[in-house]
Structure 1
């Protein structure tokens, strides 16, 4: 397993990226090599600072003189900065030298570079980001979480198929449950877009070809309370929901910490329950999930949060490994051919 890591991507690059790579190499022996892509001098200096050997056969520095900033327009900058760390890392995947791309950098640029260089899987018109959220029943993936802000109903139908394939083959869910984000559970609720999407999903589900159980419209609270594996929405809505959830979790833990240290009695109680607090924090933290797969492109592409820590980058690398090792893309391709729009065979691909 070889990983192309955009070492210059993110708010805290390259330190967190080098730190995450170092942790991943220590924890995951199946990683054959990590390509650290970016300014060679900067990366080498940070590796020396963190004690990551650049002479190891498992580490390779690939020079990329340009960086796409977090505030730059993605698609335009990808074409202008051809030697950016995002483009050079994506080229490694395109050439087959790396099995997965990981970046905490500019999301729009990563999506654009992946679409241009790797192309889309047959049957996919727009790629989508599947971001995991902790749920009472496991993990619920929000799809799309930011790649396609102006989605069409047919895009969300394909997202349902791709998301259910990811849930089945990576998470081991036999019968993925898919919901559509709306402002009410009733069938008639929603905008024109969500109503058209609902009708399309219901029609597809009624054919008996769908590789998932369509549960209908769902609301925000269902992301955490209801047994769901994939919740569909356009990229604009998904990105707002995801960032709101992350901010809420951080705020709650900040408030909780303040209250638990308000007096001696509370501090004693907090110390006794420390294990429970740590467990909940790990489950709710975006760090634990690391990165989100960009589904629909011909390659494994993992998008991490711009504010990622070293732990988050390490886990983003892990998600890339899982996505590759479970052959998610071949399963998506097979599923789309067999049960996607225009498909004729209702049978599902077997095995992992």
Structure 2
């Protein structure tokens, strides 16, 4: 019994040390137990994981929570390769999102430690400003207790920054206007509605969990499109599942050009103080900055983005079928609705 106890304790010690190694090295070094084979089958080899970029669409951001998106961004910024236990907790969307973001950040997803990581741009200035503000008002030497972790500091700063410094906006954004109201919905919105209709044509879709997930995802994208590209919708238009088939049937998908932007005037700069967006935690000006980047068709430097900007950027790309890491491959039609009057 004592021997068994000692072996068990040694096994536990070994398990505690495993997460210190890169996950893929662990897979290669461990014995081929049945459990490991199941793990390999679930997560795959390095090449299998790398190929997930081809196997999945760009819908990851719509299938991950804010906390998951932030965790993945923070892991890359930490320059510490995810542990085995972290990978085991991730689903296919989280793994795919991590791999794609590593490409966007131009880092080796297996060896983040070899990356020289710049400081996070969206957190440290806020901490400094808040500390200075507190010293001026209350004469305090510091804002946070010394025992508070870095992650807790970030969480508190963001909470104060969003909750106190800004009003919260819950209305759709209008980033421009047309000389005459659009007669039909934008082509890319039509494609999303058509995707929803195609899902609902599947046999017994309402009893199929996979179909329900697919439909929920595309309807999230439709809602996102209608909120942030509201200026391009016909007056009073809204998505209704029961009317989706008639919308698709009545749309002329062969018309040329797909977009007629001559009568559109972008707002250029947001002057009204409507506050921070409820869903993205971004100000209207920050939303416009991201849209302008997509409209430029020049892939940005992701180190300059916070997790909120990355989330919004990726969701925009998803709605238009654009690769996160290669805006240069997008067509003019793919980005024309994001014209903020700042480039081209």
TM-score, normalised to structure 1, is 0.25
**Greater gyration radius:** 2
Higher fraction of helix: 2
TM-score, normalised to structure 2, is 0.26
